Structure 1
Amino acid sequence: MKKQRPVNLDLTTIKLPSAGKASILHRVTGVAMFFAMLFVIWAWATSLHSEDGFNQVVQLMQGFFGKFIAIGTLSALTYHILGGLRHLVMDMGYWEELESGNTSANVTIGLWIVLTIVIGVVLW
């Protein structure tokens, strides 16, 4: 049986509520943390291998690339924790309505932006 329903392939026309954006961002930061852990594990293993490896990692982390990776990793971790806490509260039965869900999503995203700026200022 073939269903005749409209298919919208232009994703730019879809208007997601804040709660939907927050949920997608939570998933994206989880994937970003997975890939960031590849760098973290490499840096950790290299720094523990020898004194030269440690100095190499220190030099890398003091450069632009290292700081960029560190800020990105901590930013993803920060949002993932905030989003996870928001989801835990929703699992307990709170913030499940449309208005409160969107408000909690906006607060989570706003707090994440502020904390990312603080992390960037501290690490730079």
Structure 2
Amino acid sequence: MEHERLRPRFFNVLQVQMPVGALTSIAHRVSGIVLALCLPFYIYVLQLSLQSPQGYTLAAGMFSRWPIKALATVTIWALAHHVLAGVRHLFSDVDIGSQLQAARRSAWAVNCAGVAIMLLGAGALF
């Protein structure tokens, strides 16, 4: 009888319970992508606002629409999370906060602070 090969199984990522440090690291990468994708839009808005007083009024008026407010809110989270997680990684590189408990606490702090900063920014926008 021929030996049966084990067929690959479907791996459901949503069922895997990742540690908070892994989620923070993944969110750090996602926030970097979000910032890179939003950069052209914000450069355009800055250029528009610096052209003339009418351009400034048009650029400021863009932020009265809810899709732009939502984009700005996501960008605020991405910037806050990316900076905080980056500082966390830099500290980890010089062996500050690398122990398991300290790393978990700093990961929770980064995640919570990023959301808190986003909510503060959203409160100013909405």
The answer to whether the superposition gives a TM-score over 0.5 is yes
Letter in 1 for 2:14: T
| SS of residue paired to 1:62 | coil
Please report how far the alpha carbon of residue 18 of structure 1 lies from its aligned counterpart in structure 2 after TM superposition. Answer: 0.4
TM value normalised by structure 1: 0.85
Question: Where does residue 56 of structure 1 map in the other structure?
Answer: 58
Question: Where does residue 15 of structure 1 map in the other structure?
Answer: 17
Letter in 2 for 1:11: V
Gaps of 5+ in 2: 1-5
Please report how far the alpha carbon of residue 25 of structure 1 lies from its aligned counterpart in structure 2 after TM superposition. Answer: 0.5
Letter in 1 for 2:76: L
Larger Rg: 2
| SS of residue paired to 1:94 | coil
Gaps of 5+ in 1: none
Distance 2:49 2:124 in 1: 23
Question: Where does residue 100 of structure 1 map in the other structure?
Answer: 102
RMSD: 2.0
Match of 2:48 among 40, 46, 49: 46
| SS of residue paired to 2:120 | helix
Aligned pairs, number: 121
Question: Where does residue 3 of structure 2 map in the other structure?
Answer: none
Is 1:115 paired with 2:117?
yes
Contact 2:48–2:56 under 8 Å retained in 1: yes
- Tell me whether 26-35 or 64-73 shows the greater mean CA deviation: 64-73
TM value normalised by structure 2: 0.83
Q: Which runs of 4+ in 1 moved over 6 A?
A: none
| SS of residue paired to 1:9 | coil
Output one character per residue of 1:5-38: Cα deviation in whole Å (capped at 9) or x when no partner. Answer: x766211222110001001111100000011111
